[in-house]
Structures are given as structure tokens and as C-alpha cells.
Chains A and B, each alone.
Chain A
Amino acid sequence: MMDFLLILPVVLSLLILIISSKLRYYFALFITLYVSVISSIPAISLLINFGSTPFVFYIFSTEIIIDNLSAFFMIVTNFTMLTGMLFSKGYLQPYLSKKSSYEIAIHYCNYLLLHVSMLLVLVFRNGFAFLIAWELMAVSSFILILFEGEKRSTLKTAVNYLIQMHIGFVFLLIAFLICQSETGNISFDALKIYFANHNNSFLFMMFFVGFAIKAGFIPLHTWLPDAHPAAPSHVSGTMSGVMIKMGIYGIIRVLSYVHFDLYLIGFFILLISAISGILGVMFAIIQHDLKKLLAYHSIENIGIIGMGIGLGTIGLGINNPLLVMLGFSGALLHVLNHSLFKSLLFYSAGSVYKNYHTHNIEQLGGVIHKMPKTAAFFLIGSIAICGLPPLNGFISEFLIYLGLFKGLTTGTFHNSILMLLAIIALVLIGGLAIFCFTKVFSVVFLGTSRKKMENEVNEVGNDMLFPQLLISLAIIAIGLFPMIFIKPITIIVSGLFKINTDSYILSITDTFSKIGIISITLIVITGSLIILRSKMLKKRKVNYGTTWGCGSANISGKQQYTGSSFANNFSDIARPLLHIKKEYNQISENEIFPAKRSFYTHPEDVFKKTILKIVDFLMMILKKLARLQTGQIQHYILYAFIFILLIFILMYLKFI
């Protein structure tokens, strides 16, 4: 029975290739719904029955276990994949005429395969099965990125993505093989045996690197800021929303088996996450490409999630259940939250792209007048991603903050300093995120248009707005009624790490109910003040005029603050960390009437540059070595002769 359930969506997704192009979308939607429902039923029932025993199935004699952690990630995956599918209908509309029907079919087929493979990653415990699902996930997402493969840059990015995923895969494979050679078994359960009587940190590091490439921790992130913009918006939304979270899932799963060195591992994760968070958002600020900017924000949010995990691991290390609960709950809730607001942001960025055909924020402006609803959704996403109340991002960051402050007050000497540094990092991330999103929202949506549009732009259709509405409702719900979502998550954490959290949940309930009340108060006061204000304005005369321009009434859109100028004061003080190439020529002294000039900035990723430098160096060496390859047969014979001679000498000296 279970075999059939699994095989059905795979077969159906292949069926998409032959179905008629009219019905194709509905068929794909149907399969997504089917997969989501089938997998959500056990997941939801698990989470509702608070920590009951996990479901165990056998498919082709491979064990499938759905425990609380898998169930949580499955629900996150299903929701985002569903909204992505809903969004794709409107987004792919213009492509239907451009692309052949076959290409669209392959796209949908791989979208479904990505969905199925992610679910399989979450439920497989056998190492090989897990790796196969992991590989399927990489390949299907590779094909999804290739959707606009006729562009050379997309092709390059996609190949780069595939290569980097395989490097991660190799790390995972080696890690599993080490485990097998020591315990004779290749599965996650064997890790428990391995970690119980071996050095923990080494094998964990292997796993961590493998998973971190997927998750996008700095400095292993270099595929991420290119791959997300290259893919269609619904794919970027789902990739950033859930696919990179598979890396987080892997890290948490492996961590749950680690026995020793937990403090050290926690310290390491906290450090690398803080760096990822701060640098991710710093790189984001200087971007002009809207989707690239959002991609860098994924790195930042992965950093925040990682800080939660690091905090929790430190809690395990010093045996403080409160820190474990706050850290891991914050991380898991942020996984959910990030999947919501990041997909929302990518979808609304996609809506803008659909109408304006550009990702470059310097050419946009005043979009809010044409697309007010999209702007509202982007605004909700922005507030949420900045971690501001009353939306969901605040709740998860609050959990991590609270954990850090608890660690500060109850910790040892070194711990206190560590926690303080983590707090500073989190505060900086929050402040920089606000800086970034005030920039991007105001440059894209506010003001007036910077570039003249040829045709009239209208709001996107309801089919694209509906999934965004769904996500927004979820975001607001988590923000206003946090306890409903936190409680199951704390139970996942307590089950996974075998800690008793009942006494702490009570104090958290009080905290979050008060946060909820204040959030509701905020909305109520805002609402009533807005009503009051409109009543006051009705009584008075309201005029409309131009913006104050210091006496000048003739202001063009080009005079507005652009993204670069908004970020300028920040990039000035952070110049040593960020590499921004500026292209302009100075006005010379004898130029009385300045000619027309241009100004470009090119933000560069420092890490990518470093890697490229290393690669260039290697290429140089290889080129020098290539001189040996002369193409003349005498030389090759000479090499062979030298080789034989060498062997002879070595034998003589008894080296061989």
C-alpha cells in the first residue's frame, strides 16, 4: 500500500510530459495537493498528538520513519511547495508562448520531483536511501534553475550549482562511509553508536560541511546568490524557503545523535552563524538586483537559524535545558517563519519582475501606485524578515534573544562573554536588515518611477495574489498567536534531545501571551487612530501638491535617492569588508560645462573573489604543467623512460 502511495506521484509527475498543455497546470496542482495531503496527514496527526511514537513504514523494504522533526519539516515543505505551485500559474503565463510546451512540462515535472525528493530526504533514515533522495533533490532543482537556460549566465550558474551540490554530497558520502566502516551499518541510527564511542567533532564537521553547502553558511554560500536570481520566482521562493532548510534539517538530525564535545560544536556553530548572518545582510545591502538581495538575506536568515542551533547546542553542552529549548525552538520556528516570509518576498518580487521585466532596483520606483496589493505583501514580508513586531519574524528572533539573555545571566564567565557577542551580532543583523529593507522597499515601491515604461502596468492577477494572501495570513497568525505554534515545536525539541521542558513552557506561555496582547493592542490602536485621522481630515481641507524640493517644483524621478545612494553611507563605513567597484570619471578642471556622464557600482562577493583567486592560481600552475604536453612522440617516450628509471631507483633504494 505504502509502495503504491510513493510510486504514484513519481509516475504521475512523469505523466505530465504527455498530458495536453491546457490541463497540465491543473494536473500538476492536483499532484502537489495529493502529495501534500498524503504526507501531511501523518505529520499533522503526529504533531497534534504531542510526541506520540513515530510512524514507521517500509517502502521496498526501506525503512521510513516520520518522527516529530520530520513531520515539522514536512509541513513547512508542503505549504511552501503548494503556494509556489499556485503562484507559478500566473508567473509562467508569459512564458507559455515563448517556451515550447515540452519545456514547461519538464519544468513542472521537476517541480514535483523536487517536492517528492525533499519529503523523502526527511523520512529516510538509511544512509544510502537518504543520499539518493538528496541527489534527486539536487538534480531536480538544477533543472528548475535551468528554466531560462538559453541565457548563458543562467547556464553557468546552474552548472556551478550542480558542482557545488556534489561537493557537499561527497562530504556527506564520506561521513556516512566513515560511520559504516566503524559500525558496519549505514544509517542515522548507526551514528548514535558511532558517536557514543568515537571522537565526535570530526565526523560532525564532515556532516556539517556537507549540509552547510546546501544551507548556505558563509563561506560555503557562493552558489546561493547566483542560483536564486537565475531561477523563476516561484522556484527561488521554494528553494530559498524550504530547499536550503534541508541542510538545517540534516544538521539538527545529526546533532541529536552527538554525545560529546557539544560545547565546542555549539561554539563553532554560533560563531559561523553569526558571521553568516552579519556578512549576509551586509552583502545584501549593497546589491542592486532585487532577487540577489533576497538571496543574500537567505544567508542572513540561515545565520539566525544557526545561532539558535548553536545556542541550543551550547545548552546541551552545559546541561541547561532552558537554553536547549529556547535555542532549538527559536531555530525551528525561524525555519517556518523564513519559509513563509522569504517565499512571500520572492513571489512579490516575481510579480514586479513580471510587469517590469527587470530585477534592477535602480530602474524601478513608484511601483506602489501601479501595484498596491503586491506592495502591501512585500511590506508585510519586509516587516517580518526584519524581525519586527507584530509579525512572525519577531517571535522566533525573540526566542533566540531570550535564550541568549538567559545564557548571559546564568552562564559562566566565558559563556557570558560569548552570549554578549551573540547578542551584539543578532542586534546588528536586525539593524542591518531594517536598513536593507527600508532601502529596497522605498527604492522599488515608493517615490516615482526612475525609468519610463513603454506600456501601462497593472496589478497582477488574483491567481498570483492568492498564494501571497495565504502566506500573509500565516505570518500574521504566528505573530499574533505565537503560543499555538511554539508549543508543538518545544515538544519536538524536548523529544529530540530528551530533556524535560514542562516547567519552562509555562513561563514562556506567559511571555508570549503578553507579546500577543501587545501586538493586538498595537493593531487596535493603529486602527482606531487611522479612523480618527480620516475623520479629522474629512473635516478639513486636504490639498495635493508636489513634494518640497527646496524651491524647485520640477523634480524628475532620476533625482530621487537610488539604492546605491541610500546604501552609500553604510558602504562607506564598511568598505574594508565589502568590495564595491565604482565606475565613473571625475569632472576635470577645465571642463566648464560638464558633459553627460554615468556612474556604475558593481558589488562583489569577497569570498567568491578569494575562491576565484585560488582557482586562478591553480590554473596558472596547470598551464605551466601543460607545457610538458608537447605533442611530440619523442618527449612522451622520454617521460616513460624517466618514469621507469625512477621506479628502478626507488626499487633499488627499497622505497617500493
Chain B
Amino acid sequence: MKGKTHAEEAAAFIKDDARTHWHDETLWHVRSNRDRSAQGIPEWETLRDTASATKDYVLSHLGELLEQFESNAKANGVEVLWAKDAVEHNQHVYRILQENKVSNIVKSKSILTEECGLNHYLEKKGYDVVDTDLGERIIQFAKQTPSHIVLPAIHLKKQDIGEIFHNHIGTKEGASDPNYLTEAARQHLRKKFVEANAAITGVNFGIAETGGFVVCTNEGNADMGTHLADVHIACMGIEKLIPRAADLGVFLRLLARSATGQSITNYSSHFHRPAEGKKMYIILVDNGRTDQLGREDFKNSLKCIRCGACMNTCPIYRRSGGHSYNYTVPGPIGSILSPGRDLKKYSTLPFASTLCGSCSDVCPVKINIHEQLYKWRQVIAEHTNMDRSKQLSMKVAGMTFGKPVLYDLAGKVARTALKYTPHSLVYSSINVWGKHRDLPEVPEESFKEWYKKNRKQ
């Protein structure tokens, strides 16, 4: 699959028309829930402005806020580690596991550890990492990657999940009742929670003022893991900071409503210090974030609080599925984060959009996603040689549009050609437009020709 363009991946996904429409409807339902929930908050747009301004402040004071966070966390008895990239992050985790003689690990959903490829790394070292978020566990069994950051198994139907569970935890063959399957997963995970000596979680918000952090889950799996295990390793992207505890209310109100339409996540767990006799670690991960911070046009992407609203609203994501993006964070936000990581590999993602702007308007922290998509396109055209024929056609178009005589002539030639070329030739395989769409009817004359005849004195 590597190296395929978004368009190719999307075309493959969309071949199953029924599944595509089911996927679209399911996510549209989530987006509608979000709309209803936001409508209940008269100050919604003010909340977005406030959150956006707070994150602007964080990004412009990141260094000092991180230092403040580190010293407060240390004072609380937490060990703070820094990782410049995924490799360092994974090494830190491994060392902590070794030092604490950990044998069993449970993990609450963390996109950052996905980004760092932690599961794969630890599995190679002989660890069995158990993802405890239900959706994560499903795709872990299926040996897939999440297709959505909030709803990781959204691409799978309940029948698919029944089959996966039958193969891995011995549920009845053909069973697809969500209650039955959830209960089976609950029993399976309970055993894993009890056995675990270390719990790995992500971080939704780190609070500079207190050195504490907040993890949001709907299943309580982060709490279950961290309460039972002796070691808690929290993996946090350096952009996840907020300045004060008082800022938290704004973000918690926006996060769940934007993600699923809930007024708040079922569990918003606050962590400050390890319990007696236990250990708590925070790994602060850069992994390309300061590079992105240095890109004036794109640094706003670091405001993202990972609610997934831009995915749910994106008409392309809804129909192409998260895997078509081939990046840890798919959808519109992923399409502006990924080119900064590897311009060539992700060069088609900023084009997987009509620039409809829905992502920017749904974003709770007001990231100008569609404007950044436009800007990445300019960067990609300038710095990669991905598509010579496109470049040439755009160069010719630019020249033609620069000269009125040439434009008028080209228009006339094109219209005449279209009128007199046999139907079979017009609708040949090279006419991509015409595969499923008719071309416009060719008019007798252009507006300009009509105007010259009828209006020009």
C-alpha cells in the first residue's frame, strides 16, 4: 500500500459503495450530534475564540510554559523526561519498564504512542502491550491501525468486530450484538487490568501552572489501568500544554462536544502525583513539533486538541476512510500535519480536499485548516517534482490566461472541437471528467462573442 496516492486509496475504499455510504452516514450522525450539542451553548463561538487565543499564547510561550510544567511536575514527585523524537520516546518507555521490572502493560488510547510506533517497538522487545480502549483493542486484534483518532475502529461494522472477537477472545461465531461483544471485551480486559504492572496513557491537557495533567476517556480505562498498576507512564506531545487550571473548563467543554456531541467525556481524570509507593513518569515528546512551530504558515496546526471534528465533517474523509491518508492522524488536520513530517510521502494529502472550509469552521480551536491545505499545495508544487504533466498543463494554462487573444482563441477551438468530435472520442478513457459525468452542452457563442455583437457600441 505504501506510496499510493490518496486518490488511489480512496478509489479502492469507495468501490464498496454500501460500506462507503454506511461510513459516511455514521460519521455524519456524529457530526449532527456535535451540531445539536454546540447549539445548546449560546457562547459557543466565544468559547472557540477563547480556546484559540489560549493556544496562541501557549505556542508563543511554549519554552517557558514547558519549563514551568516540568518544575511543577517534579515538585509533585513525577519524573519528567524529554524526547526529541519517536526513537527517544520509545527508549525512555523501554528503560522505565526495565527499571521497574514490568512484565504486563496496559495502555489507554494514545495517538502519540501510535505516532511513535510504540506497540511495535515494545513487541519486538518481547512485551505484550494491551490497548484497553475498546476500539483500539479491536484494531489491535485485527492488526490494523486506527482509522480515526477518536473512533479508531469506525471503519469496521459490528459484524466485522464479531468475527475479530470470535477469533481472538472466543465469542460465539456470527455474534454481532454490541452488548454481548462489549461485555466479552470487558471481561477479557478486566483480567489484563488486574495483571498489569504498568499503565501507559496519553495526555489531553498538561497544566503548566500545576504540573498536573488530564486524560479524557469514555470508558474509564485510563483510570482503571493507572489505579491498579504501580507505574504510570504518561506520554505527552509538547503542544498539549495549557497555561492555567482555570483554562481547562473551556477546553473540556469544547473537546467532547466537538468529538461526539457529549457535553463532557465520561471520565476526565486529573493526575498530579504518584500514589504512595507508586511511580509516575511524564515523557515530553517533540518529534517534529518544534519544526512545525517554526513554520509561520503552519504552526497553527499545533493548536489541535485531537477532537476529530474535522474528520467527521470532512466530506472526503467520510467517504474515503481514515486509512486512505496513510498517516497516524488522518483527515484534514492530518493533511496539514503530515507534510511537515515528510513532504514527498504525504504530498497528495493537501490535495485530498475541495477546500470547502468545513474543517476550519467546525474546529473548536479555530485552526485555519483549509487555508493551510492551500498553502501546503504551493509548497509541494515548489519543492517536489511529483507530477510533471500537471505542472506543464498549469504552466500552459497560466500563459493562455495571461493573453486575452490566446484565451479567446483557445476557448473557441475547444468549443468547436467538443462540438464536432465524435461522442465516442470525447468520452474516451482519457477524459476523466466524462467517466460518470456529461460535459456541458456547447453553446453557439461565448458570452464575450455575444457581448461584442449585442452590446458593444
State yes or no: do A and B come from one complex: no
A residues contacting B by CB (< 8 A) are none
